[in-house]
Copies of this chain bind each other. A is one copy, B any other.
Amino acid sequence: MQDAAATAETYAVSARNRVKRLHGRGHYERAAVHAVLDAGLMCHVAYVIDGQPYCTPTMHWRVGDRLFWHGSSASRMLRHQKAGVPVCLTVSLLDGLVMARSGFNHSLNYRAAMCFGTARLVDDPAAKAEAIRGVVERFYPGRDAHLRPLSAQELKATAVMTMLIDEASAKVRATGVGDDEADYGQPVWAGVVPVHTVVGEPEPCPRVLPGTLPAAGLGPYRPGRPFDEALREAQRLYEGAAD
Q: Which residues of A pack against B, CB within 8 Å?
A: 16, 20-21, 41-42, 44-48, 51-57, 59, 72-73, 76, 86-90, 92, 94, 96-97, 99, 101-104, 106, 108, 110, 112, 114, 116, 132-133, 135-136, 139-140, 143-144, 146-148, 150-151, 154, 157-158, 176-177, 179, 183-209, 212-215, 217-218, 221, 227
Q: What is the bound-complex CA distance between A241 and B186, given in angstroms?
A: 25
CA distance A90 to B123 in the complex (A): 28
Whether the Cβ atoms of A200 and B195 lie closer than 8 Å is yes
A112: chain B residues within 8 A (beta carbon):
57
- Which residues of the other chain, B, contact A176 by a CB distance below 8 angstroms? 203, 205-206
The distance from the CB of A183 to the nearest CB of chain B, in whole angstroms, is 7
Query: Which of B73, B177, B213 has a CB less than 8 Å from the CB of A205?
Result: B177
Q: Can you report 24 residue pairs joining A to B where beta carbons are below 8 Å apart?
A: A20-B76, A44-B46, A46-B55, A48-B51, A51-B86, A52-B86, A54-B114, A55-B89, A57-B92, A96-B200, A102-B147, A103-B132, A103-B135, A103-B136, A103-B147, A104-B151, A179-B205, A189-B212, A190-B204, A191-B203, A191-B205, A192-B203, A193-B221, A195-B227
Beta-carbon contact of B189 and A214 below 8 Å: yes
- Chain B residues with CB under 8 A of A183: 148
Bound: A181/B154 CA distance, A: 15
Cα-based distance from A101 to B147 in the complex (angstroms): 6
> Are B103 and A42 in contact, with the CB atoms below 8 A?
no
Are A104 and B150 interface neighbours, CB within 8 A? Answer: yes
B residues in contact with A73, CB < 8 Å: 20-21
Q: Is the CB of A189 within 8 A of B177?
A: no
Query: Apart from A41-B97, A99-B217, A191-B202, what 7 extra A-B contacts exist at CB < 8 Å?
Result: A42-B110, A44-B92, A45-B55, A55-B89, A56-B90, A106-B135, A147-B186
- Measured CB to CB, the closest approach of chain B to A123, in angstroms, equals 18
Q: For residue A231, give the distance in angstroms from its CB to the closest CB of chain B.
A: 10
Which residues of chain B have C-beta atoms less than 8 A from A221's C-beta? 97, 193
CA distance A208 to B176 in the complex (A): 12
Contacts of A212 in B (CB 8 A): 187-189
A15 to chain B, nearest CB (A): 10
Q: Complex Cα distance A3/B87, Å? A: 33
Query: Which of A57, A92, A194: most chain B CB closer than 10 A?
Result: A57
